[in-house]
Structure 1
Amino acid sequence: MARVTPHTDTRQGILDTAYGLVGAKGFSGVGLNEILATAGVPKGSFYHYFGSKEAFGEALLADYFESYLADLDTTLAEPGLSHAERLMKYWRKWQATQGSIDDQRKCLAVKLAAEVSDLSEAMRLALKSGTAGIIERLSGAIAAGVAEGSLTVEGEPRTIAEMLYHVWLGASLMAKIVRTDAPFEAALGTTRRILGLSSH
Protein backbone atom coordinates (compact mmCIF):
# COMPACT_ATOMS: atom_id res chain seq x y z
CA MET A 1 0.00 0.00 0.00
CA ALA A 2 2.38 2.71 -1.20
CA ARG A 3 0.49 5.87 -0.29
CA VAL A 4 3.34 8.32 0.26
CA THR A 5 4.47 10.94 -2.22
CA PRO A 6 7.21 13.56 -1.88
CA HIS A 7 4.47 16.02 -0.83
CA THR A 8 3.27 13.74 1.94
CA ASP A 9 6.80 12.84 3.00
CA THR A 10 7.87 16.46 3.49
CA ARG A 11 4.82 17.39 5.54
CA GLN A 12 5.07 14.26 7.68
CA GLY A 13 8.80 14.73 8.06
CA ILE A 14 8.25 18.18 9.56
CA LEU A 15 5.67 16.77 11.97
CA ASP A 16 7.83 13.81 12.95
CA THR A 17 10.80 16.07 13.60
CA ALA A 18 8.71 18.39 15.75
CA TYR A 19 7.55 15.70 18.20
CA GLY A 20 10.82 15.47 20.06
CA LEU A 21 11.48 19.21 20.00
CA VAL A 22 8.01 20.21 21.19
CA GLY A 23 7.97 17.35 23.70
CA ALA A 24 11.19 18.65 25.24
CA LYS A 25 10.68 22.43 25.04
CA GLY A 26 6.96 23.01 24.66
CA PHE A 27 5.20 24.65 21.74
CA SER A 28 6.19 28.24 22.46
CA GLY A 29 9.77 27.26 23.30
CA VAL A 30 10.48 25.89 19.82
CA GLY A 31 10.94 28.28 16.91
CA LEU A 32 10.15 27.44 13.31
CA ASN A 33 13.78 27.87 12.33
CA GLU A 34 14.83 25.15 14.78
CA ILE A 35 12.18 22.75 13.51
CA LEU A 36 13.01 23.39 9.87
CA ALA A 37 16.77 23.21 10.39
CA THR A 38 16.40 19.89 12.19
CA ALA A 39 14.07 18.56 9.50
CA GLY A 40 16.24 19.92 6.70
CA VAL A 41 13.31 21.73 5.10
CA PRO A 42 13.26 25.30 3.71
CA LYS A 43 10.90 27.82 5.29
CA GLY A 44 8.91 28.14 2.07
CA SER A 45 7.96 24.48 2.29
CA PHE A 46 6.68 24.93 5.83
CA TYR A 47 4.25 27.66 4.82
CA HIS A 48 3.18 25.63 1.81
CA TYR A 49 2.02 22.85 4.12
CA PHE A 50 0.84 24.69 7.23
CA GLY A 51 0.32 28.41 6.62
CA SER A 52 1.16 29.46 10.19
CA LYS A 53 2.71 28.13 13.36
CA GLU A 54 -0.75 27.79 14.90
CA ALA A 55 -1.96 25.73 11.92
CA PHE A 56 1.17 23.63 12.31
CA GLY A 57 0.40 23.09 16.02
CA GLU A 58 -3.14 22.03 15.17
CA ALA A 59 -1.82 19.59 12.55
CA LEU A 60 0.80 18.28 14.98
CA LEU A 61 -1.87 17.47 17.56
CA ALA A 62 -4.19 15.90 14.98
CA ASP A 63 -1.35 13.71 13.71
CA TYR A 64 -0.35 12.78 17.25
CA PHE A 65 -3.86 11.75 18.26
CA GLU A 66 -4.38 9.79 15.04
CA SER A 67 -1.36 7.65 15.91
CA TYR A 68 -2.24 7.51 19.61
CA LEU A 69 -5.81 6.35 18.97
CA ALA A 70 -4.68 3.72 16.47
CA ASP A 71 -2.28 2.34 19.09
CA LEU A 72 -5.03 2.46 21.73
CA ASP A 73 -7.41 0.57 19.41
CA THR A 74 -4.76 -2.13 18.98
CA THR A 75 -4.22 -2.41 22.74
CA LEU A 76 -7.94 -2.58 23.50
CA ALA A 77 -8.47 -5.30 20.89
CA GLU A 78 -5.47 -7.49 21.72
CA PRO A 79 -6.53 -11.13 21.37
CA GLY A 80 -6.37 -13.56 24.25
CA LEU A 81 -6.96 -10.93 26.96
CA SER A 82 -10.03 -9.87 28.89
CA HIS A 83 -11.20 -6.28 28.62
CA ALA A 84 -9.90 -5.74 32.15
CA GLU A 85 -6.44 -7.00 31.15
CA ARG A 86 -6.41 -4.82 28.03
CA LEU A 87 -7.31 -1.72 30.03
CA MET A 88 -4.65 -2.39 32.63
CA LYS A 89 -2.11 -2.93 29.85
CA TYR A 90 -3.01 0.52 28.51
CA TRP A 91 -2.45 2.16 31.89
CA ARG A 92 0.89 0.39 32.31
CA LYS A 93 1.96 1.59 28.85
CA TRP A 94 0.99 5.11 29.92
CA GLN A 95 3.18 4.78 32.99
CA ALA A 96 6.08 3.41 30.95
CA THR A 97 6.00 6.20 28.37
CA GLN A 98 5.18 9.13 30.66
CA GLY A 99 7.63 7.99 33.31
CA SER A 100 10.52 7.70 30.87
CA ILE A 101 13.09 10.40 30.19
CA ASP A 102 12.45 10.22 26.43
CA ASP A 103 10.55 13.38 25.47
CA GLN A 104 9.99 12.00 21.95
CA ARG A 105 7.13 9.77 23.09
CA LYS A 106 5.74 11.84 25.94
CA CYS A 107 2.05 12.59 25.64
CA LEU A 108 1.48 15.87 23.83
CA ALA A 109 -1.87 16.24 25.61
CA VAL A 110 -0.04 16.28 28.94
CA LYS A 111 2.75 18.50 27.63
CA LEU A 112 0.71 21.11 25.81
CA ALA A 113 -2.75 21.28 27.42
CA ALA A 114 -2.00 24.03 29.93
CA GLU A 115 0.35 25.87 27.59
CA VAL A 116 -1.70 26.20 24.41
CA SER A 117 -5.34 25.99 25.52
CA ASP A 118 -5.33 29.67 26.46
CA LEU A 119 -3.22 30.71 23.47
CA SER A 120 -4.92 29.00 20.54
CA GLU A 121 -8.58 28.06 20.17
CA ALA A 122 -7.76 25.80 17.22
CA MET A 123 -5.20 23.86 19.24
CA ARG A 124 -7.53 23.69 22.24
CA LEU A 125 -10.20 22.15 20.03
CA ALA A 126 -7.68 19.67 18.62
CA LEU A 127 -6.81 18.66 22.19
CA LYS A 128 -10.51 18.43 23.09
CA SER A 129 -11.25 16.22 20.08
CA GLY A 130 -8.27 13.94 20.67
CA THR A 131 -8.89 13.44 24.37
CA ALA A 132 -12.60 12.86 23.70
CA GLY A 133 -11.59 10.05 21.36
CA ILE A 134 -9.50 8.46 24.11
CA ILE A 135 -12.31 8.71 26.66
CA GLU A 136 -14.81 7.27 24.17
CA ARG A 137 -12.63 4.22 23.60
CA LEU A 138 -11.99 3.72 27.31
CA SER A 139 -15.73 3.99 27.95
CA GLY A 140 -16.43 1.29 25.37
CA ALA A 141 -13.80 -0.99 26.87
CA ILE A 142 -15.19 -0.50 30.38
CA ALA A 143 -18.73 -1.26 29.20
CA ALA A 144 -17.49 -4.38 27.42
CA GLY A 145 -15.57 -5.45 30.53
CA VAL A 146 -18.67 -5.09 32.69
CA ALA A 147 -20.68 -7.09 30.14
CA GLU A 148 -18.14 -9.94 30.11
CA GLY A 149 -17.78 -9.88 33.90
CA SER A 150 -14.10 -8.94 34.13
CA LEU A 151 -14.93 -5.50 35.57
CA THR A 152 -17.26 -4.27 38.28
CA VAL A 153 -17.90 -0.53 38.40
CA GLU A 154 -20.26 1.78 40.21
CA GLY A 155 -21.56 4.32 37.71
CA GLU A 156 -21.84 4.81 33.97
CA PRO A 157 -18.85 3.61 31.89
CA ARG A 158 -18.36 7.05 30.34
CA THR A 159 -18.27 8.74 33.74
CA ILE A 160 -15.74 6.14 34.92
CA ALA A 161 -13.65 6.61 31.78
CA GLU A 162 -13.55 10.39 32.25
CA MET A 163 -12.63 10.01 35.91
CA LEU A 164 -9.78 7.61 35.18
CA TYR A 165 -8.42 9.75 32.36
CA HIS A 166 -8.39 12.73 34.69
CA VAL A 167 -6.62 10.67 37.36
CA TRP A 168 -3.89 9.71 34.89
CA LEU A 169 -3.47 13.23 33.55
CA GLY A 170 -3.00 14.43 37.11
CA ALA A 171 -0.54 11.64 37.83
CA SER A 172 1.50 12.59 34.77
CA LEU A 173 1.73 16.20 35.91
CA MET A 174 2.66 15.24 39.46
CA ALA A 175 5.30 12.80 38.20
CA LYS A 176 6.96 15.74 36.43
CA ILE A 177 7.07 17.61 39.72
CA VAL A 178 8.25 14.87 42.09
CA ARG A 179 10.38 12.99 39.52
CA THR A 180 9.31 9.57 40.83
CA ASP A 181 6.82 6.87 39.81
CA ALA A 182 4.81 7.35 43.02
CA PRO A 183 1.96 9.26 41.30
CA PHE A 184 1.64 6.50 38.70
CA GLU A 185 1.62 3.78 41.34
CA ALA A 186 -1.12 5.66 43.16
CA ALA A 187 -3.05 6.02 39.89
CA LEU A 188 -2.74 2.28 39.26
CA GLY A 189 -4.14 1.53 42.70
CA THR A 190 -7.00 3.97 42.22
CA THR A 191 -7.72 2.52 38.78
CA ARG A 192 -7.89 -1.02 40.15
CA ARG A 193 -10.27 0.04 42.92
CA ILE A 194 -12.57 1.92 40.55
CA LEU A 195 -12.65 -1.01 38.12
CA GLY A 196 -13.29 -3.54 40.88
CA LEU A 197 -10.00 -5.39 40.38
CA SER A 198 -7.78 -7.05 42.93
CA SER A 199 -4.45 -5.51 43.89
CA HIS A 200 -2.48 -8.13 41.95
Structure 2
Amino acid sequence: MPATTARSADTRRNILDAARRIMAHKGYSAVGLNEVLAAAAVPKGSFYHYFSSKDAFGEALLKSYFDDYLADMDQVLAQPGRSAAERLMSYWQMWRETQSFDECQGKCLAVKLGAEVSDLSEPMRLALKEGTGAIVDRLERAITSGLTDGSVAIDGAPRETAQILYDMWLGASVMAKIHRSLEPLDATTAMTRRLLHA
Protein backbone atom coordinates (compact mmCIF):
# COMPACT_ATOMS: atom_id res chain seq x y z
CA MET A 1 0.00 0.00 0.00
CA PRO A 2 1.48 3.39 -0.94
CA ALA A 3 2.39 5.65 1.99
CA THR A 4 -0.27 8.25 1.08
CA THR A 5 -2.99 5.59 0.91
CA ALA A 6 -1.85 4.10 4.22
CA ARG A 7 -1.90 7.55 5.87
CA SER A 8 -5.37 8.17 4.48
CA ALA A 9 -6.63 4.81 5.81
CA ASP A 10 -5.04 5.55 9.22
CA THR A 11 -6.69 8.97 9.36
CA ARG A 12 -10.06 7.50 8.40
CA ARG A 13 -9.68 4.84 11.10
CA ASN A 14 -8.65 7.51 13.62
CA ILE A 15 -11.86 9.46 12.88
CA LEU A 16 -13.98 6.32 13.28
CA ASP A 17 -12.25 5.35 16.54
CA ALA A 18 -12.74 8.85 17.98
CA ALA A 19 -16.40 8.80 16.95
CA ARG A 20 -16.90 5.38 18.52
CA ARG A 21 -15.53 6.56 21.88
CA ILE A 22 -17.64 9.72 21.91
CA MET A 23 -20.87 8.20 20.59
CA ALA A 24 -20.70 5.30 23.04
CA HIS A 25 -21.29 7.98 25.70
CA LYS A 26 -23.47 10.56 23.93
CA GLY A 27 -25.30 8.80 21.12
CA TYR A 28 -25.33 9.77 17.46
CA SER A 29 -27.49 12.89 17.20
CA ALA A 30 -25.87 14.65 20.15
CA VAL A 31 -22.41 14.52 18.58
CA GLY A 32 -21.33 17.02 15.94
CA LEU A 33 -18.75 16.31 13.30
CA ASN A 34 -16.53 19.08 14.65
CA GLU A 35 -16.33 17.32 18.03
CA VAL A 36 -15.29 14.07 16.35
CA LEU A 37 -12.72 15.76 14.12
CA ALA A 38 -11.25 17.68 17.07
CA ALA A 39 -10.94 14.44 19.09
CA ALA A 40 -9.28 12.77 16.10
CA ALA A 41 -6.98 15.78 15.58
CA VAL A 42 -8.10 16.03 11.95
CA PRO A 43 -8.68 19.42 10.26
CA LYS A 44 -12.36 20.32 10.06
CA GLY A 45 -12.39 20.81 6.33
CA SER A 46 -11.12 17.32 5.52
CA PHE A 47 -14.14 15.26 6.68
CA TYR A 48 -15.60 14.94 3.18
CA HIS A 49 -12.27 13.67 1.89
CA TYR A 50 -12.92 10.51 3.94
CA PHE A 51 -16.75 10.29 3.96
CA SER A 52 -19.25 11.47 1.35
CA SER A 53 -21.92 12.39 3.93
CA LYS A 54 -22.81 12.06 7.61
CA ASP A 55 -24.94 9.02 6.67
CA ALA A 56 -21.95 7.40 4.95
CA PHE A 57 -19.86 8.22 8.01
CA GLY A 58 -22.43 6.62 10.35
CA GLU A 59 -22.62 3.53 8.16
CA ALA A 60 -18.80 3.25 8.12
CA LEU A 61 -18.72 3.73 11.90
CA LEU A 62 -21.11 0.83 12.47
CA LYS A 63 -19.39 -1.45 9.95
CA SER A 64 -16.01 -0.74 11.58
CA TYR A 65 -17.50 -1.39 15.03
CA PHE A 66 -19.02 -4.71 13.99
CA ASP A 67 -15.82 -5.80 12.22
CA ASP A 68 -13.90 -5.37 15.48
CA TYR A 69 -16.69 -6.83 17.61
CA LEU A 70 -17.03 -9.94 15.45
CA ALA A 71 -13.26 -10.50 15.46
CA ASP A 72 -13.30 -10.42 19.29
CA MET A 73 -16.34 -12.69 19.36
CA ASP A 74 -14.66 -15.16 17.01
CA GLN A 75 -11.66 -15.35 19.35
CA VAL A 76 -13.84 -16.06 22.38
CA LEU A 77 -15.93 -18.67 20.57
CA ALA A 78 -12.81 -20.44 19.24
CA GLN A 79 -11.02 -20.91 22.57
CA PRO A 80 -9.30 -24.28 22.43
CA GLY A 81 -9.80 -26.96 25.05
CA ARG A 82 -13.23 -25.75 26.11
CA SER A 83 -16.71 -27.04 25.45
CA ALA A 84 -19.09 -25.01 23.31
CA ALA A 85 -21.13 -24.21 26.43
CA GLU A 86 -18.02 -22.85 28.18
CA ARG A 87 -17.14 -20.74 25.14
CA LEU A 88 -20.69 -19.39 24.92
CA MET A 89 -20.71 -18.48 28.61
CA SER A 90 -17.32 -16.76 28.15
CA TYR A 91 -18.90 -14.68 25.41
CA TRP A 92 -21.79 -13.66 27.64
CA GLN A 93 -19.30 -12.82 30.42
CA MET A 94 -17.43 -10.59 27.95
CA TRP A 95 -20.75 -8.91 27.09
CA ARG A 96 -21.50 -8.32 30.79
CA GLU A 97 -18.05 -6.79 31.31
CA THR A 98 -18.37 -4.38 28.37
CA GLN A 99 -21.77 -3.24 29.62
CA SER A 100 -20.48 -2.63 33.16
CA PHE A 101 -18.35 0.41 32.20
CA ASP A 102 -19.31 3.96 33.24
CA GLU A 103 -22.17 3.07 35.62
CA CYS A 104 -23.59 0.52 33.17
CA GLN A 105 -23.52 2.94 30.24
CA GLY A 106 -21.45 0.35 28.36
CA LYS A 107 -19.48 0.46 25.13
CA CYS A 108 -21.80 -1.39 22.74
CA LEU A 109 -22.87 0.74 19.79
CA ALA A 110 -25.71 -1.65 18.93
CA VAL A 111 -27.17 -0.99 22.38
CA LYS A 112 -26.41 2.74 22.35
CA LEU A 113 -27.40 3.62 18.79
CA GLY A 114 -29.81 0.88 17.70
CA ALA A 115 -33.17 2.54 18.32
CA GLU A 116 -31.89 6.06 17.66
CA VAL A 117 -30.35 5.65 14.22
CA SER A 118 -32.75 3.05 12.86
CA ASP A 119 -35.29 5.86 12.49
CA LEU A 120 -32.77 8.39 11.16
CA SER A 121 -30.82 6.58 8.48
CA GLU A 122 -31.65 3.58 6.32
CA PRO A 123 -27.97 2.81 5.56
CA MET A 124 -27.21 2.81 9.29
CA ARG A 125 -30.24 0.64 10.03
CA LEU A 126 -29.05 -1.85 7.43
CA ALA A 127 -25.52 -1.81 8.88
CA LEU A 128 -27.01 -2.61 12.30
CA LYS A 129 -29.17 -5.35 10.80
CA GLU A 130 -26.18 -6.92 9.05
CA GLY A 131 -23.92 -6.66 12.11
CA THR A 132 -26.44 -8.04 14.59
CA GLY A 133 -27.35 -10.79 12.11
CA ALA A 134 -23.69 -11.81 11.97
CA ILE A 135 -23.64 -12.06 15.77
CA VAL A 136 -26.72 -14.30 15.75
CA ASP A 137 -25.10 -16.44 13.01
CA ARG A 138 -22.12 -17.05 15.27
CA LEU A 139 -24.32 -17.83 18.26
CA GLU A 140 -26.28 -20.32 16.15
CA ARG A 141 -23.06 -22.07 15.09
CA ALA A 142 -21.82 -22.21 18.69
CA ILE A 143 -25.12 -23.63 19.92
CA THR A 144 -25.05 -26.24 17.15
CA SER A 145 -21.49 -27.12 18.19
CA GLY A 146 -22.72 -27.47 21.78
CA LEU A 147 -25.44 -29.86 20.69
CA THR A 148 -22.77 -31.92 18.92
CA ASP A 149 -20.36 -32.02 21.86
CA GLY A 150 -23.19 -32.57 24.36
CA SER A 151 -22.47 -29.46 26.44
CA VAL A 152 -25.70 -27.70 25.36
CA ALA A 153 -29.30 -28.86 25.24
CA ILE A 154 -32.12 -26.64 23.93
CA ASP A 155 -35.87 -26.93 23.50
CA GLY A 156 -36.09 -25.18 20.11
CA ALA A 157 -34.02 -24.83 16.96
CA PRO A 158 -30.46 -23.42 17.21
CA ARG A 159 -31.32 -20.31 15.15
CA GLU A 160 -34.41 -19.54 17.18
CA THR A 161 -32.50 -19.99 20.44
CA ALA A 162 -29.61 -17.81 19.21
CA GLN A 163 -32.02 -15.03 18.24
CA ILE A 164 -33.90 -15.22 21.55
CA LEU A 165 -30.64 -15.09 23.50
CA TYR A 166 -29.33 -12.11 21.53
CA ASP A 167 -32.63 -10.23 21.90
CA MET A 168 -32.69 -11.02 25.62
CA TRP A 169 -29.14 -9.75 26.15
CA LEU A 170 -29.80 -6.61 24.11
CA GLY A 171 -32.88 -5.85 26.20
CA ALA A 172 -31.03 -6.56 29.44
CA SER A 173 -28.27 -4.16 28.36
CA VAL A 174 -30.82 -1.39 27.84
CA MET A 175 -32.36 -2.11 31.24
CA ALA A 176 -28.89 -2.09 32.86
CA LYS A 177 -28.39 1.40 31.42
CA ILE A 178 -31.78 2.57 32.70
CA HIS A 179 -31.25 1.17 36.20
CA ARG A 180 -27.48 1.71 36.25
CA SER A 181 -27.21 -1.76 37.66
CA LEU A 182 -25.84 -5.10 36.53
CA GLU A 183 -28.85 -6.95 37.94
CA PRO A 184 -30.61 -7.28 34.55
CA LEU A 185 -27.44 -8.78 33.06
CA ASP A 186 -26.97 -11.14 36.00
CA ALA A 187 -30.58 -12.32 35.69
CA THR A 188 -30.05 -12.80 31.96
CA THR A 189 -26.89 -14.82 32.60
CA ALA A 190 -28.88 -17.17 34.83
CA MET A 191 -31.67 -17.44 32.24
CA THR A 192 -29.09 -18.11 29.50
CA ARG A 193 -27.73 -21.04 31.49
CA ARG A 194 -31.25 -22.40 31.86
CA LEU A 195 -32.08 -22.01 28.17
CA LEU A 196 -28.86 -23.77 27.15
CA HIS A 197 -29.00 -26.27 30.03
CA ALA A 198 -25.36 -25.32 30.51
TM-score range, shorter chain: over 0.9
Q: Unaligned 5+ residue runs, structure 1?
A: none
Match of 1:60 in 2: 61
Superposed CA RMSD in Å reads: 1.9
Match of 2:178 in 1: 177
Distance 1:146 1:127 in 2: 29
CA contact (8 A) 2:136 2:166 kept: yes
Distance 1:190 1:178 in 2: 19
In structure 2, the CA distance between the partners of 1:157 and 1:191, relative to structure 1 (3 Å rule), is same
Question: Within the alignment, does 1:123 sit opposite 2:118 as a pair?
Answer: no
Per the normalisation by structure 2, the TM-score is 0.95
Match of 1:193 in 2: 194
The 4+ residue runs of structure 1 with deviation greater than 4 A are 1-4, 102-105
Q: Unaligned 5+ residue runs, structure 2?
A: none
For 1:12-31, list aligned pairs within 5 A: 12-31=13-32
Q: Give the paired residue count.
A: 197
Distance 1:151 1:164 in 2: 14
Question: Within the alignment, does 1:147 sit opposite 2:148 as a pair?
Answer: yes
Q: Secondary structure at the match of 1:101?
A: helix
In structure 2, the CA distance between the partners of 1:51 and 1:103, relative to structure 1 (3 Å rule), is farther
Match of 2:102 in 1: 101
Q: Secondary structure at the match of 1:134?
A: helix
| Cα deviation, residue 103, structure 1 | 8.8
Distance 1:157 1:22 in 2: 33
Q: Secondary structure at the match of 2:101?
A: coil
Deviations 1:34-85 (A, max 9, x none): 1111111113321011111111000000000000001111110011111000
Match of 1:83 in 2: 84
Distance 1:155 1:191 in 2: 14
Give the share of equivalent positions with the same residue, in percent. 58
Tell me which amino acid in the other structure corresponds to 1:21: I
Deviations 1:63-120 (A, max 9, x none): 0000000111111001111100000000011001112118996110000011000110
Per the normalisation by structure 1, the TM-score is 0.94
